[in-house]
Every structure is written in C-alpha cells, then in structure tokens.
Chains A and B, each alone.
Chain A
Amino acid sequence: MKLSDIVCFSAIVPELEAKDRNGAIRELVGLLHQSGCLGRNDPEKLIRAIIQRENEASTGMGKGVALPHIKADGITEPVAAVGRSSHGIDFRSLDKQPVYTVLLLVSPKDNPDKHLQAMEILFRNLNQDDFRRFLRQAQTVEEIAEVIRDAS
C-alpha cells in the first residue's frame, strides 16, 4: 500500500474554508462523503465522533500537521482526505503551533490491520521534511495530488 492508495483524490482541499479545527474536520468529512468514499456512513455521526476523539486527545502531532482519524463500519479500505490551510488552524497541537496540513483518515472498523498499515504509511511520509514542505507549499488540487502520487 502506498499513500496514493489511501487518499481520495476528489477529497483534496488546497485552501480550507474553515478557520478552526471542527470546521476543518467537517469540511473534509463532507467532501469524503460527497465523493462517495464513505459508503453509507452518516457524515454527521463521523464528524461528531472525530471531534469527540480530538477533544480527548489531539492528533496535532506538531510540525504543522494533524491527523484526525476514526474507524467506521461499512467501508472496506482506509480512505483519507487532505486539507491545506495557509492561515493555519489551532488543533491544540503538542508544540502549540498552528496546523497547515490536515490528513483525515477513516478506516474500516472490522480491519484494524489495515488501519495500522494506513497510519504507518502516513507517518512514514510525514516524517520526511520534504514531504511536509511540499504539501504545505502546493497550492492547487493538482499540485497536492502530484505530491501524493510521488509519495511512498
């Protein structure tokens, strides 16, 4: 599995309209839903669940990246949306810095291995300074898509 196998290419947002965390989560889940990547899941339920988990423990991992995630029934493969914010969003990250890249992952509930595999792919790429920098600098859907296609 590669990053491009996880990302839903019709759920890439070069400039999030949302200026806050919950809004960004809402926007990205909405887009995954519209793209048909969430099966029959109720997007509202997923949004609430992701926000609740985020309140319990932030997925703002520092260096401008947040990785909100949730498991859901009714899907067979992990699927991710990508959002970029040039303003930066407060995710209550560990390093207290704003988040410029949000990778939101929805994984199949009945397949924990696939979830972990998807997370590891995200971590592996996010650990690369260049990958984070390219994602942050990409300004169009096509530029972001290219960074994702080039990723491991």
Chain B
Amino acid sequence: MSEPVAEIEVEIQNEEGLHLRPAVQFVDVASRFRSAITVSHGSVQADAKSVMEMTLLAAACGSRLKIRAVGPDASDAVAALGELVAKNFPPTSKPAEAKKEG
C-alpha cells in the first residue's frame, strides 16, 4: 500500500524571504508531522525539517516553492505549512520568557 502524498505550491511574500527566523518557524511546524516533507525552489530541494537545508533554498520574496509531503499526515502537513506561508509567518504565540535580563 502506498503512502499518502500531498503537494502544494506557495509564494513567499514576506519582505526578507524565507530567511532565518521564517525558516526556523517553517521547520518548527514541519517537525510536528510524521510525514517526510521536502520543499523545492527551482532545482534546489531541502528537507523541511532541517533549518540548515531550508536556509539554502535562498527563497527571496516572490519565490515560488513546492511543498511535498509523503506519509500518514501528508495533507495536514501541507495545509499547515501552506497556511504559515500564506499568513506571512505570523509571530509565534509562545510567551517570551526572558524578561529577567536585558
């Protein structure tokens, strides 16, 4: 039996492209899923669960990326990542705890 596959194409719209902080957010979301997820930008492909690889996509503003997930939760994964990009990487709701210094 073959595994479910889901695919979506998205356009990066935030000014700085898929740079470090958005890439970290992307990987954070991708890592919640069991599916294997790859992101491709032209001929470059990255593992969506590796920040190191994601930063190498060099996805500037306006880049079109293809997100492909293979696994039991493929469609949920692709939906969540598509939403993250569509919403322009909203700040995470995690409370900032390091108020004690600085």
Contacts and interface: CB of A to CB of B under 8 A. Distances in A.
Q: Answer yes or no: do A and B interact.
A: yes
Interface string B44-87: 00000011110110101000000000000000000000000000
A17 to B, nearest CB: 15
Given A57-B91, A62-B51, A112-B16, A94 B28 contact: yes
Given A59-B21, A61-B24, A119-B19, A22 B98 contact: yes
Interface of A: prevailing SS:
helix
Interface residues of B, number: 27
A134 interface: no
B98 A21 contact: yes
A126 B52 contact: yes
A69 B20 contact: yes
Interface stretch (A34-42, A47-55, A137-145): A47-55
B5 to A, nearest CB: 26
A124 interface: yes
B55 A123 contact: yes
B39 interface: no
A58 interface: yes
Interface string A43-77: 00001100111111111111100010100000000
Classify chain A: how many residues form its interface, as a range: 20 to 34
Given A94-B51, A119-B19, A127-B52, A57 B101 contact: no
Nearest to B53: A127
26 contacts: A20-B101, A23-B101, A26-B102, A47-B102, A48-B102, A51-B98, A53-B21, A54-B98, A56-B91, A56-B96, A57-B24, A59-B20, A59-B21, A59-B24, A60-B24, A61-B23, A61-B24, A62-B50, A69-B20, A94-B24, A94-B31, A112-B16, A119-B20, A123-B20, A123-B55, A126-B55
Interface of A: 20-23, 26, 47-48, 51-63, 67, 69, 94, 112, 116, 119-120, 123-124, 126-127
Interface of B: 15-17, 19-21, 23-25, 27-28, 31, 50-53, 55-56, 58, 60, 91-92, 96-98, 101-102
